[in-house]
Structure formats: C-alpha cells, structure tokens
Chains A and B, each alone.
Chain A
Amino acid sequence: MASESIDHFIKFCTDANIDPSHHRDSVRKYVLAYQRNLERKNAFKVMFGDVFINWEYTDRGLPRMDAAHWINVLKYFDFSSVEVQPKSILCSIQHRLKTLGLNADPNFACRVFLLTNMNFIASQLGLERLFCEYEIPDAYNKSLRFFALGADTAFDVLLTTGMFCLIMDECKVDEAEVEKQIQFLKLREEELSNSFKVKQIRAMNGRPRLRSKLADVKRDINSVEVCVIFLLRICIFLTFCTGHGRLRQVGPGGEVSERLFHAHQAPSLFSDGADACAGADQSRSSDYHGLVCV
C-alpha cells in the first residue's frame, strides 16, 4: 500500500511537471495540490517561490484519491516539531481532540487538519478512517462529535492558508523512506518490463507452427534417404572391387528373387536402386517392394 501511494505521487510529479528529485518539496507540493479551503497559489508562492508547477493540471486534471491513500502519504511526514500557537486553528483542533479524550499531540492534530481539508474526500469519512487507523474505538461517533464541537468556530481562508504554510514549513519528511520506495518501484517496473519482454519473445518464437513442424519432418525424411543412397553407393563400390554381386528383390507377395550381376552392370543398378528408394519414401507405390545388395 505504501508503494502504491508513492506510485501515485510519482505520477503526479510527472503530470504536474514537478522535479521529483527533491523529495521534501515534491511531497509537500503533492499535499498542497490536493488541499481545499485555502488559497493554493498563494501558499505555493510563499512556500516555494517562483518554481514552476502545471496549474492547469492541478486545477482540472487531478485524479481522485481516497482517505486511505492520504493517511499513507502523511505517514512520511513528522509533525512533532510543529509549534502550536495559542488561538490558532491547530490549537482549536487540539482542544476538540482533548474534549473527546483523544491524543492531542501536534503530530496527530496536524494530520487531522490536513486530512479534513483534503480535496475529493468527505472530511468526516477521512477523519473516521484516521481514527480507525489509530485504533480509536467508536470512530464514527467521535468523528461526528469532533465536527459538532467546531461548528461555531469562525472559518477564514487566510487563516487556514497561513496554518497550512506553517505546518508544511516546520514539518519533517522522511526522504530516505520515500527514496527507498521509489527505488523499489523502479526495480519492480524493470523486472516487470523484462518479464514482459521474455514472454513476448516466447510468444513470438516459442510455439512451433505447423509449417515448421512439417519442414522438420521433411528434413528428417531427406536425411534418411541420403543415408540409404549412401549405403547403396558403398555396396556398389564393393561390387566393383569384388567384380560381381547379387541383387535380392522382394516382391509384393513376399517372394524373394536373387540375380547375379557383374561390375559393368552396377551403374544402372545403382540408379534403379536409388530411384526405387526415393520412390518408396515419396509413397509412389509400384510393384517394387525391396532391394538389397548382398
């Protein structure tokens, strides 16, 4: 799940034209792009100066992410060092959490602040999910009571923007862990790509086609033919050496007839025999059934 969140983060960096090599800045930009109830462009300018980000994409093309994704992304942040100023929004959140008997340290309060201002998710559902992650019993009712306690709190976009900038400025990002996850994803992608290539090669070359099989069979037959012809040649050669030989012919009924021949008859016999062998292999049936030089 952690790597899945980072996967989305990398995709965001690509699409929003952010340099992903500076992890702290990139992750903060990612969170900012998804915030609502604040002036994002002003906050971006305060935090990062005149650095480029594709606002066209962040305004219109952002994919919807659920609460679980953001809870995972916020795990890379450490908000312990964020200073809580009196009468600030964070102070109000801490007060409400204390009233509910929950953990009210800045680390948790900042997560509540960011998650309740996250775009594309309902604040109550996000908060309920966060309580569930922290194993807080009766998460649904507690999340409802949290918002009920803040119903009469004044809402100011500028205050929220200021609070966000302060939190993002003072928080720490676990860059080593982010880098580790990115490397893990790269390795996994390379592995998948290699495996796909191997599968593609197998699909293209691994399965023999019928015509290839037939070509192989034909080649085998030809090699047998060549052997037979070669043996016949040796027999004829030996006949030349001895001066005469006997030819045994097997008829259709299995009857065997032998005839004696002399050396000067051998070339014609050789050609007959070779033709006969080739004819037998090619299934050109005739009255010829076998020929043996003895």
Chain B
Amino acid sequence: MPEPINHVHRITTDSYVCNTLRSADVKKPDVDVLCKVISSLRIVDEPFKELHDFRAECTGAFPMSQLGIMKLNDILHMYVCAYQNPLVWKEVWKRIAPMLSHQVIRDVETFIAKNPFNFEAVLNIFNK
C-alpha cells in the first residue's frame, strides 16, 4: 500500500510542513476536521474506476430509497471515509453517510483490504 506521505508534495511544497508530517505520528485524528474536508470534496470529472467498484461492492446493504437519492459526491465522500484511520473511520462515516451496519462494515473492510486508495484521483479532486 503506498504511503500517504509520498503524496504530500502534491498539496504543499513547503519543506518544513513536509518534514514535520514525515516525523509526525497522528494517534487521534480530529474527526471534525476530517468530516469538514471530506464533505467539501466535489467530483467534476469522470469518476475513477475504484469509485465505481466501491459503489458496486459497498452499497449493497443500503436500502433502495437511500440509494435512489445518493449522488456521486456522496459515494466519493464514503470512499474517502472508508480509508481513514481505523480508529475513527466509523465515526466519520456515521457523520457523513446515512447508515452504518455490520454488513456495511464488512463490505467496506473487505473492499479496502483488496483495493489500495487511489491517491492520484482523490488528490486531483482536492486540487481542483
């Protein structure tokens, strides 16, 4: 799995920030900030392959009524949520997605175990 730190240079070129992040060990991520950043993501390009796969594999436990009103941006938010720190991803998910059940947890954990996070695509969305 690629290290997130390898992609920091795509967000900032500040060497001080890069070095600090390299040595930083975040034990308890701030859920509020994560939710704020994830909720602000908007996709304006063709969705990447992993997003389609995520939709197909991880939304099976959702009721049809909720799937009907779910937009592409919502799927993107859930995709990014799923790859957050294992300590907090469920908390972040609960704040962003309409539901979290045992089946959803199983689906998401299976998905993230076999699919690496698409840093390239998500960082492109960040930088738009």
Is the CB of B14 closer than 8 A to any CB of chain A? no
Distance, CA A52 to CA B46, complexed state (A): 6
Question: Is A14 among interface residues, defined by CB-CB distance under 8 A?
Answer: yes
Does chain A have a CB within 8 A of B73?
Answer: yes
Q: Which parts of B18-47 form the interface with A (CB within 8 Å)?
A: 42-46
Partner of A57, one of B46, B72, B128: B72
Which chain B residues lie closer than 8 Å to A56 at the CB level?
A: 72
Residues of chain A contacted by B69 (CB below 8 angstroms): 61
Report chain B residues within 8 Å CB of A54.
71-72
From B42, B44, B71, B73, give the contact of A52 (CB < 8 A): B44
Is A177 an interface residue when CB atoms closer than 8 A count as contact?
A: no
Number of B positions contacting A (CB below 8 A): 10
B96 to chain A, nearest CB (A): 15
Q: Is A19 an interface residue (CB 8 A)?
A: yes
Interface size counted on chain A using CB atoms at 8 A: 10
Q: Of residues 4 to 19 in A, which have CB atoms within 8 Å of B's CB atoms? A: 14-15, 17-19
Q: Mark A159-180, 1 if CB is under 8 A from B, else 0.
A: 0000000000000000000000
Q: Please, which residue of chain B has its CB at the minimum distance from the CB of A60?
A: B68
Contact with B along A232-248 (1 / 0, CB 8 A): 00000000000000000
How far, in whole Å, are A54 and B47 apart by their CA atoms in the complex?
10
Which of B44, B71, B73 is the most central at the interface, judged by chain A CB atoms within 10 Å of its CB? B44
Bound-state Cα–Cα, A287 to B121, Å = 86
* In the complex, per-residue mask of B49-73: 1 if CB is within 8 Å of any chain A CB, else 0: 0000000000000000000010111
B71 contact set on A, CB distance < 8 A: 14-15, 54, 57, 61
Residue contact A17 to B128, C-beta cutoff 8 Å: no
> For residues 102 through 128 of chain B, which have their beta carbon under 8 Å from a beta carbon of chain A?
128
**Minimal Cβ-Cβ distance residue in B for A57:** B71
Distance between B7 CB and nearest chain A CB, rounded to angstroms? 23
Tell me the nearest residue of chain B to A56, going by C-beta: B72
CB-CB under 8 A from B42, the residues of chain A are 14, 17
Q: Provide the residues of chain A in CB contact with B45, threshold 8 Å.
A: 17, 52
User: What residues on B are CB-neighbors of A57 within 8 Å?
Assistant: 71-72
Q: Are A19 and B72 in contact (CB under 8 A)?
A: no
Interface positions, chain A 36-62, Cβ under 8 Å from B, are 52, 54, 56-57, 61
**A290 CA to B88 CA in the complex, in Å?**
64
Can you name 15 A-B pairs with beta carbons within 8 Å?
Answer: A14-B42, A15-B71, A15-B73, A17-B44, A17-B73, A18-B44, A19-B128, A52-B44, A52-B45, A52-B46, A54-B71, A56-B72, A57-B71, A57-B72, A61-B71
Query: Which 6 pairs from chain A and chain B are nearest by CB?
Result: A19-B44, A52-B46, A52-B45, A15-B71, A17-B43, A17-B44
State the A residues within 8 Å of B (CB).
14-15, 17-19, 52, 54, 56-57, 61
Chain B residues in the interface with A (C-beta under 8 A): 42-46, 69, 71-73, 128
Apart from A19-B44, A52-B44, A52-B46: 11 A-B pairs, beta carbons within 8 A: A14-B73, A15-B73, A17-B43, A17-B73, A52-B45, A54-B72, A56-B72, A57-B71, A57-B72, A61-B69, A61-B71
